[in-house]
Structure 1
Amino acid sequence: MKTSVIGFPRVGTLRELKFASEKYFRHEITAQELTGIAADLRHIHWMTQVAAGIGFIPCNDFSFYDIVLDTAVLLGIVPRRYRELNVSKLDTYFAMARGYQGESGDVKALAMKKWFNTNYHYIVPEIEDDTVISLDCEKLTGEYEEAKALGIKTKPVVIGPYTMLKLCRYVGSKNAEDFADDVAEAYRQLIAECDEENVEWLQFDEPSLVRDMDDDDKALFHRVYERVFADRADCKILLQTYFGDVRDVYEDIINMPFAGIGLDFIEGKQTGQLIDRYGFPGDKVLFAGLVNGKNIWRNHYDKTLNVVGQLRDKKIDVVLSTSCSLLHVPYTLKQETKLSQDYLRFFAFAEEKLIELSELAALAESYNYTELEAYHKNQELFAGTRDCNSDEVRQRLAAVTEADYARLPKRSERQALQKKEFGLPELPTTTIGSFPQTKDVKSQRAQLRKGEISEQEYVDFVKGKIKECVKWQEDIGLDVLVHGEYERNDMVEYFGEALGGFLFTEKAWVQSYGTRCVKPPVIWGDVYRKKPITVDWSVYAQSLTDKIMKGMLTGPVTILNWSFPREDISIKESISQIALAIRDEVLDLEAHGIKMIQIDEAALREKLPLRKSDWYTEYLDFAIPAFRLTHSGVKAETQIHTHMCYSEFTDIIPAIDDMDADVITFEASRSDLQILDSLRENNFETEVGPGVYDIHSPRVPSVAEIVKAVNVMLTKIGRDKLWINPDCGLKTRGVPETDASLRNMVEAARQVRK
């Protein structure tokens, strides 16, 4: 039995690509040095897969920033404003990803959105009416030849034509149908190019096929692939899907000229049923996604081998595969030296999943796999028990009533009381929470971790940074202040460290976007608050100013979605446990005089099912009440804020309003404020702060630019409901650009007030 990997982590074991890219951005290394480091990483990643015996190894899954952006470049989808910068090909690419501000011009970055139901962010390709689709497969064929020179046969990976057409943003009068033939022609040419390179397998990633598809979607899918397959070719096409099942087009797919079809058996609820009902062609290869590419728990071999056996009984030619790209899990367990084997033996990161694939393939080929050591070790693991349950947590959750999910009085009455309580000016200015985490902050945290400074020395340092931050914000003229979050390593990890039930890794980094990596905690057991988390910092910060100080918390849905969740209890139960823990913190903050509390739910949409029919029954019906549970016990005068970023929220606006927060801030700058129309159409009641500038780009917005954005907002949102703020936290930005941007933002608010 052969094995396949859909995609592999690209940042390196110790985030080598991140650090190299950031050096390039700071002009500390040349483009040649950066591409050299990238080549070295690719070679390591390929050789790692070769060593594990993987049969179908991907290439072109490497990216300096994002594979969707790479595919846009492959198709020539580069908006005019970036081409007109007249900078190098690499710098044009980074300008689309990060924005550009320099001698050649001043352009914003392209929009960024969450990648389906993950915490990864992709760059949204932008198609103008005069965009000419033209193939440039230098990167794809170049990386294939790179691997070939090492003696490694790979399958190039590219986002498929249907998914590309669905992900693009059309900024003119044309739409996907207008570009369908040209895009399909480019993919037909790509197959021809791969044929010339003697590529045996070419993988087209089509995750958009797992979403709801109407007749127009199906027609577009067929139209595109009829042209793609217009010519006969020796190159075999693998249609790779993930994050769900393809129930709307399964019958179509199995009758189309794909040589292989990749199906997700982890998140694809109906994948097995579809095969049972409609069969699977004998002339095609089934790439069966049976090793979870999104979570870090070990594979249960018995269950997987049972599915493989059933497929083989149907005479299906099976390749054992990951369920999705391994981009979504950390690189290797080898760097984890502090967690005991009592925990680590339950985990499999990317390298370990390669071993699982190899062992499963060997077991599947064995005449009697139940006698083999790999099978016995796995059986012993799953036959054992984990110390992860708390009777106290479960009893408390069972005692929650419907009344605990409702806040009184109703929001309109609360808002009137809050305006009187706070006396803020029209269009109040604030930030999302974090301020730049400078080198001294990271250094002090590292010294504390290594025992080089005492806890008190660290506390005194952080208090000094908070004092500087409060004065800085007062000098800028912000209306509502934050303490800067200097004590926090990560908005989820920091909270998890104060909650029972969490485990933490040392170097288990996962790419979130570009050079941004996160280290998700692991939810090992039942969750509860061990101690107050933020109270002392918030109270200290409030003591330094007469202005309002927001308390800053991470919400239960985001804590769960940005952690590796348990698989032995439901997502609903896990979120509800976390909600009770955050509720304790909210009430504690209020009791200590904090009158504004922000509960961030940046990741609300991530576990939202990709099919609308499942939205409420499988997620929103418990995720939204869980948020209400965190704040329903506060006084009417206490103002609850929340924040969301980089997701498509327009279709769940009523659910967001139902969270019953008083104020919501969210990303809008990269998407040209598109969400505002949806807010107005749904009679959104919550006060709102659409981000007026993009913090994920190093460029500084001008006063005029922000004034223009605010004036557009005021055509859709009442003056009494609009807040002025950046679109996300400022943790990753530098001090000079943060200062300049915030001063411009405050001045813009002043001008609009006049």
Structure 2
Amino acid sequence: MSKTHNLGFPRIGRERQLKFAQEQFWRGELSAAQLQDTAATLRAQHWQWQREAGLDWVPVGDFALYDQVLNLTALLGNVPARYGFSGGEVGLDTYFAMARGTASAPAMEMTKWFDTNYHYIVPEFTADSRFELSSHALFDEVQEAQAQSIPAKVVLLGPVSYLFLGKSKQAGFDRLNLLPRLLKAYASLLLRLHGLGVQWVQLDEPILALDLDEPWLAAFQQAYPLLAEQGIPILLASYFGDVSRHLPLLTRLPLAGVHIDVVRAPEQLSVFAAQWPQDRVLSVGIVDGRNVWRADLRQKLAQLSEVADRGEQLWLAPSCSLLHVPVDLAAEQKLDAELKSWLAFARQKLDEVAALSHALNQGESVVSAILADSDQAAASRRSSTRIHNAAVAARLAALTAADAERDAPFAVRQVSQQAHLNLPAFPTTTIGSFPQTQDIRSARAAFKRGELDEAGYLAAMKSAIRLAVAKQEELGLDVLVHGEAERNDMVEYFGEQLSGYAFSQNGWVQSYGSRCVKPPLIFGDVSRPQAMTVAWSRFAQTLTARPMKGMLTGPVTMLQWSFVRDDQPRALTARQIALALRDEVCDLEAAGIRVIQIDEPAIREGLPLRRADWDAYLQWAVEAFRLSASGVQNETQIHTHMCYSEFNDILPSIAAMDADVITIETSRSDMELLDAFAAFNYPNDIGPGVYDIHSPRIPAVDEMVRLLEKARQVIPAERLWVNPDCGLKTRGWHETEAALRHMVQAARQLRETATA
């Protein structure tokens, strides 16, 4: 009889209760005890839902007040010295200081979790790093679950992946040297869990889907024999890719079971079916944990046929943690019936897993009604007339290579742009958004509810734009933005105006910390019925004589941060989005907007995990950006923005995008990324972020000057811009104005030293 389990559940709550509690706590409106009460209530609800779905094992340890990797860092006491931790219990103040920074200590680095839009807090390692159990949170959660009769399976990031995903903070130091020290802490952790009566531990080792050097593979052979001695059966979980090449290694390890993702890598199921020992658990990730489309259960049953004889050693699960999908489709009341019938959120995906298990264990007749409903949904998706658009197909067929090329090379464009824009040395700008105040949010919400008419809504948004422009002029910024008051989200805002997109009411997923996004659903061919941003940018330009920057989200980011249709190649959908954005770019130029930013923070995120697959992806991703940007004249300056990813290994492709100016996140890494840009000799303008907008701290002028001086050593002065790391939507006006005033002062100091 096959078993069912889950690798992880969304923690934000169906109504984003965690987000609101976090932010109230940070504002001092909620006590630590009240925050913990909210967390406990959410855990209990989520465990109960999973138990009701019929899971044999429910994950414990997947909940986090900020990030699951940060949880592990706190549990291990691996706290950087700058936070003043001297041992004992890592409290909430220290925990959030690592995530968000303080007035005296910057936050730890944050980067993308593999090729998802989730961000994790990057562990830091030095030769002096020590690991000692320093948080009781996990053990408390285990006891909470046991008190509620939850069959707990503890979930943790495995030790090899934890080391791999961190960063050495000393030049020349190999963090693998820390493995013996780290393993002692893991052994203590497992021993304590064993003492609490925990029967299974799931250790996630997602790096197995990457290209790993031999020392990292050898680390698995060093780690798992010791861990297996602690008395708890270990399920090693892989996901996001094919790990069948590691099957001999995995077989040698003393594991009680292994989890494989057969959604992203269906081909590996046959290999494991034939070669994984029959007396060990084979957990099959059969339902897509990263997308919202309903599973074709009959097709899934056919796929499982080759492992159906494994009995209790066969576990069924989603492909990965359900952290990446919304909580509950039942909360959606406005989606039309046909589209809703194509979808499954986290709770529904667990029902799918349970239905597959019942069909295997008791026969398909037991779930005949569920199978019939699945068949009907699959047929509806295949035959729906709302998916395909002949005009979009014709336009794609007419594309030529010239459509993805600017008229002149950057050196020629740069001269034309400087003559037209007349910017000073080290020009200052922001990434696009300004604080979304309560007044802005209230006006938008009232307009959506029908309580504010269109005239009142437009007046409220224009008032916010006037304020943003006036403040930028007073601060002395050189290239202004309109502040994006009218935008709910950088992807959702555009998707709402494009054909082929649909939207949920409550389809929220966590991006980082309390930041939640509601990804659009790309269900059909994409096109632009009418201009999306032109009127707002044109209005903003009338308020100032300085250049006003038009703000768009790029095609790859629109793709990556949406739930994308799975019935055609992603490259084709990206081209459709690119052509829709190209129309918008050309209309902005025609309206007199001569600086246009096309954000692509997700281009690195979309990179396949195996290097052998990179070239094909980068070719179509770069082409999509260039299609969106290449319809303008030389005088129009195209910017792009990227943040919180490692770009070193794809710099040739970033250069091939041929944006006139690229702004990047560098402050958390102390401008570390610029060394790669310098070594590559990046040819166009660069704006390295000089302060971290995700932290409430306001850096001093001297701190920004130091970073800019560091940048000036590797970027020619005539190609260096000054800007924050990212948009300012989540910050308040007080801290925004103070930080930008310091930033402008830092740029002016740089100009003075450059002319001295």
Q: With structure 2 as the length reference, what TM-score do the two structures score? A: 0.97
Does residue 1:318 correspond to 2:314, yes or no? yes
Deviations 1:453-506 (A, max 9, x none): 111111111111111111100000001000000010111111011110110111
Match of 2:7 in 1: 6
Q: Give the stretch that moved more between structures: 246-255 or 283-292.
A: 246-255
Match of 2:237 in 1: 240
How far residue 137 of structure 1 moved from its aligned partner, in angstroms, is 5.5
Paired with 1:168 and 1:315, the residues of 2 have a C-alpha distance of: 38
Match of 1:372 in 2: 368
Paired with 2:325 and 2:634, the residues of 1 have a C-alpha distance of: 42
Does residue 1:470 correspond to 2:469, yes or no? yes
How far residue 713 of structure 1 moved from its aligned partner, in angstroms, is 0.5
Q: In the alignment, is the contact (CA less than 8 A) between 1:281 and 1:316 conserved in 2?
A: no
- Which one of the candidate residues 374, 377, 383 is aligned to 2:379? 383
Q: Which amino acid aligns with 1:271?
A: Q
How far residue 650 of structure 1 moved from its aligned partner, in angstroms, is 1.0
* Residue aligned with 2:718, SS: coil
Paired with 2:312 and 2:526, the residues of 1 have a C-alpha distance of: 43
Q: Which amino acid aligns with 2:41?
A: D
Match of 1:568 in 2: 567
Q: Which amino acid aligns with 1:147?
A: A
How far residue 313 of structure 1 moved from its aligned partner, in angstroms, is 4.7
Match of 2:339 in 1: 343
Deviations 1:594-648 (A, max 9, x none): 101000011112221011110112x111010110001111101110000011111
Match of 1:416 in 2: 415
Paired with 2:710 and 2:290, the residues of 1 have a C-alpha distance of: 39
How far residue 128 of structure 1 moved from its aligned partner, in angstroms, is 2.8
Paired with 1:49 and 1:313, the residues of 2 have a C-alpha distance of: 26
How far residue 136 of structure 1 moved from its aligned partner, in angstroms, is 3.4
Match of 1:41 in 2: 42
Paired with 1:299 and 1:137, the residues of 2 have a C-alpha distance of: 39
How far residue 152 of structure 1 moved from its aligned partner, in angstroms, is 1.1
How far residue 247 of structure 1 moved from its aligned partner, in angstroms, is 3.6
Paired with 1:99 and 1:12, the residues of 2 have a C-alpha distance of: 25
Q: In the alignment, is the contact (CA less than 8 A) between 1:301 and 1:360 conserved in 2?
A: yes
Does residue 1:632 correspond to 2:630, yes or no? yes
Q: Give the stretch that moved more between structures: 363-372 or 546-555.
A: 363-372
Match of 1:62 in 2: 63
Match of 2:507 in 1: 508
Q: In the alignment, is the contact (CA less than 8 A) between 1:4 and 1:320 conserved in 2?
A: yes
Match of 2:445 in 1: 446
- Which one of the candidate residues 298, 301, 309 is aligned to 2:305? 309
How far residue 312 of structure 1 moved from its aligned partner, in angstroms, is 2.4
Q: Which amino acid aligns with 1:168?
A: G
Paired with 1:228 and 1:83, the residues of 2 have a C-alpha distance of: 31
Match of 1:134 in 2: 132
Q: In the alignment, is the contact (CA less than 8 A) between 2:127 and 2:178 conserved in 1?
A: no
Match of 2:324 in 1: 328
Paired with 1:467 and 1:138, the residues of 2 have a C-alpha distance of: 50
Paired with 1:128 and 1:180, the residues of 2 have a C-alpha distance of: 12
* Residue aligned with 2:334, SS: coil
- Which one of the candidate residues 271, 291, 304 is aligned to 1:274? 271
In structure 2, list runs of 5 or more residues that go unmatched.
Answer: none
Q: Identity over the aligned pairs, expressed in percent?
A: 47
- Which one of the candidate residues 77, 93, 96 is aligned to 1:94? 96
Does residue 1:352 correspond to 2:348, yes or no? yes
Paired with 2:362 and 2:372, the residues of 1 have a C-alpha distance of: 14
Q: Which amino acid aligns with 1:90?
A: L
Paired with 2:528 and 2:367, the residues of 1 have a C-alpha distance of: 45
Q: In the alignment, is the contact (CA less than 8 A) between 1:282 and 1:316 conserved in 2?
A: no
Paired with 2:541 and 2:749, the residues of 1 have a C-alpha distance of: 28
Change (3 A) 1:682 1:697: same
Q: In the alignment, is the contact (CA less than 8 A) between 1:498 and 1:529 conserved in 2?
A: yes
Match of 1:52 in 2: 53
Change (3 A) 1:538 1:532: same
In structure 1, list runs of 5 or more residues that go unmatched.
Answer: none
* Residue aligned with 1:658, SS: helix
Match of 1:456 in 2: 455
Counterparts in 2 of 1:495-574, with a 5 A limit? Answer: 495-574=494-573
Match of 1:362 in 2: 358
Paired with 2:303 and 2:266, the residues of 1 have a C-alpha distance of: 14
Q: Which amino acid aligns with 1:124?
A: V
Match of 2:252 in 1: 255
Q: Which amino acid aligns with 1:465?
A: A
Paired with 1:315 and 1:45, the residues of 2 have a C-alpha distance of: 28
Q: Give the stretch that moved more between structures: 311-320 or 683-692.
A: 311-320
How far residue 388 of structure 1 moved from its aligned partner, in angstroms, is 0.7
Paired with 1:117 and 1:56, the residues of 2 have a C-alpha distance of: 27
Change (3 A) 1:13 1:368: closer
Paired with 2:266 and 2:644, the residues of 1 have a C-alpha distance of: 27
Q: In the alignment, is the contact (CA less than 8 A) between 2:3 and 2:312 conserved in 1?
A: no
* Residue aligned with 1:533, SS: coil
Deviations 1:537-574 (A, max 9, x none): 11111111110000001111111111100011110110
Counterparts in 2 of 1:616-695, with a 5 A limit? Answer: 616-617=615-616, 619-695=617-693
Q: In the alignment, is the contact (CA less than 8 A) between 2:114 and 2:609 conserved in 1?
A: yes
Paired with 1:720 and 1:316, the residues of 2 have a C-alpha distance of: 66
Match of 2:608 in 1: 609
Counterparts in 2 of 1:669-748, with a 5 A limit? Answer: 669-748=667-746
Aligned length: 746
Q: In the alignment, is the contact (CA less than 8 A) between 1:520 and 1:564 conserved in 2?
A: yes
* Residue aligned with 1:606, SS: coil
Q: Which amino acid aligns with 2:36?
A: T
Q: Give the stretch that moved more between structures: 87-96 or 585-594.
A: 87-96
How far residue 123 of structure 1 moved from its aligned partner, in angstroms, is 0.3
Match of 1:221 in 2: 220
Paired with 1:381 and 1:506, the residues of 2 have a C-alpha distance of: 21
Deviations 1:141-163 (A, max 9, x none): 21111000111121111110010
Instruction: Provide the alpha-carbon RMSD of the alignment.
Output: 1.5
Paired with 2:225 and 2:478, the residues of 1 have a C-alpha distance of: 58
Q: In the alignment, is the contact (CA less than 8 A) between 1:181 and 1:227 conserved in 2?
A: no
Match of 1:77 in 2: 78
Deviations 1:290-348 (A, max 9, x none): 11000000011112111211112577921111101001000111221111211111100
* Residue aligned with 2:396, SS: helix
* Residue aligned with 1:356, SS: helix
Paired with 2:747 and 2:464, the residues of 1 have a C-alpha distance of: 27
Q: In the alignment, is the contact (CA less than 8 A) between 2:108 and 2:122 conserved in 1?
A: yes
Match of 2:295 in 1: 299
* Residue aligned with 1:305, SS: helix
Q: Which amino acid aligns with 1:451?
A: G
* Residue aligned with 1:720, SS: helix
Does residue 1:195 correspond to 2:194, yes or no? yes
Deviations 1:71-103 (A, max 9, x none): 1111111011112599971110000000112xx
Q: Give the stretch that moved more between structures: 86-95 or 319-328.
A: 86-95
Change (3 A) 1:137 1:249: farther
Q: In the alignment, is the contact (CA less than 8 A) between 1:572 and 1:623 conserved in 2?
A: yes
Match of 2:576 in 1: 577
* Residue aligned with 2:506, SS: coil
Deviations 1:517-536 (A, max 9, x none): 00011001100001100001
Paired with 2:452 and 2:76, the residues of 1 have a C-alpha distance of: 53
Q: In the alignment, is the contact (CA less than 8 A) between 2:9 and 2:62 conserved in 1?
A: yes
Q: In the alignment, is the contact (CA less than 8 A) between 1:246 and 1:271 conserved in 2?
A: yes
Q: In the alignment, is the contact (CA less than 8 A) between 1:198 and 1:235 conserved in 2?
A: no
Q: In the alignment, is the contact (CA less than 8 A) between 1:184 and 1:225 conserved in 2?
A: no
Paired with 1:518 and 1:383, the residues of 2 have a C-alpha distance of: 30
Deviations 1:499-518 (A, max 9, x none): 10110111111000000000
Q: With structure 1 as the length reference, what TM-score do the two structures score? A: 0.97
Deviations 1:377-409 (A, max 9, x none): 111221232221000111111110111111121
